Amino acid sequence: MIEILIALAILVGSMAAFAQLSSLAVRDLQRATDLTMQQTLADSKLNELLLGDEPLADSEWMPFLHEPEWSYAIQVMPTEWPSLVAVHVHVAQTPELESPSATINTIANFAGNPTTQLDQRPRQFTLVRWMAASDFSLDGTTSDSPSAAPVSAFERQPPNFPLPRGLP
């Protein structure tokens, strides 16, 4: 009889551990899905900026047209090299819309697995790309000077970056 009780205790303990591991797996799966979506949306928005579909200028948080659950903001910042600007595309979930990860957190809280403060904060992804500053100014307007004519990638000279010491 005691062996049966010990076996049942081991079974219940292993089932509780399995339930905890499966809830962690579901949470991590949702995080990976969100991160992949953020990366894809940031990359697509940066490509739109590169193609000139949108003006290259700072913007406040705006929802994506086809993915209203996600919002983006753009920052165009000068670098220490005057011929380059750093374009930052920030992507985060729109807080007022219900998302699958919020549903998972609610289910986890109901099931007695309180999520940490780290799980409840909105996750944000930032993609940074350096671009030649010759085609636009930092206020978002394009330059009308003759030097701002489109140049193919093969005709552009790479910027003269100082190399770290010890490299040829």
What is the structure's pLDDT at 142? 47
Residues 51-54: contacts with CB under 8 Å, at least 24 apart: none
Torsion of CA 109, 113, 119, 121, to 10 degrees: 30
- For the chain, give me the number of helices (H) and strands (E)? 3, 4
pTM: 0.61
Q: Which amino acid is at 69?
A: E
What is the structure's pLDDT at 18? 94
Torsion of CA 28, 99, 16, 113, to 10 degrees: 110
Mean pLDDT, consecutive 10-residue segments, the chain of 168 residues?
93 95 93 92 92 87 90 91 90 69 50 52 83 62 44 43 45
Specify the DSSP element, H or E, that contains 70.
Answer: strand 70-78
What is the structure's pLDDT at 109? 52
